[in-house]
């Protein structure tokens, strides 16, 4: 992968569940140091690409994020890009595990 393609910066947040004082499960989002300001390529998907990539129509904005391979990134994490939050719906890796493509949906 040519590093010039990764001209954006994204942060990956991971969901954690904890119990509050009343014993209720609480969802929070946390970022490890290794997942802050990752070099990335962010592309907005057209509706046609969204249908093709996700096999369904979604009225929310969808993006494709390409990052260097990182085994910590999982489906159900979320991407923060330019102050907006995108949930990761799918993760693809190339055969050599050099890069990951994250299919994300805002919502």
Q: What sign does the CA torsion over 86, 89, 102, 100 have? A: positive
Distance between alpha carbon 64 and the CA centroid of its chain, in Å?
A: 8
pTM of the predicted model over 0.85: no
Give the 3-state secondary structure of 38-86.
EEEEEEECCHHHHHHHHCCCCCCCEEEEEEECCCCCCCCCEEEECCEEE
Q: pLDDT (tens digit, 9 = 90+) per residue, 19-68? A: 888 889 999 999 999 999 999 999 998 755 545 555 554 456 899 999 99
Domains parsed from the chain with CATH numbers? 3-106 (2.40.10.270)
């Amino acid at each position: 992968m040519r590093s010039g393609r990764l001209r954006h910066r994204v942060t990956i947040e991971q969901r954690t569940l904890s119990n509050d004082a009343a014993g209720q499960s609480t969802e929070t989002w946390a970022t490890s140091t290794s997942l802050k300001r990752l070099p990335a390529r962010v592309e907005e998907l057209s509706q046609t690409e969204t249908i093709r990539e996700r096999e369904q129509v979604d009225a929310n904005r969808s993006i494709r994020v390409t990052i260097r391979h990182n085994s910590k990134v999982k489906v159900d994490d979320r991407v923060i890009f330019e102050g907006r939050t995108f949930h990761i719906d799918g993760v693809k890796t190339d055969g050599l595990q050099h890069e990951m493509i994250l299919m994300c949906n805002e919502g």
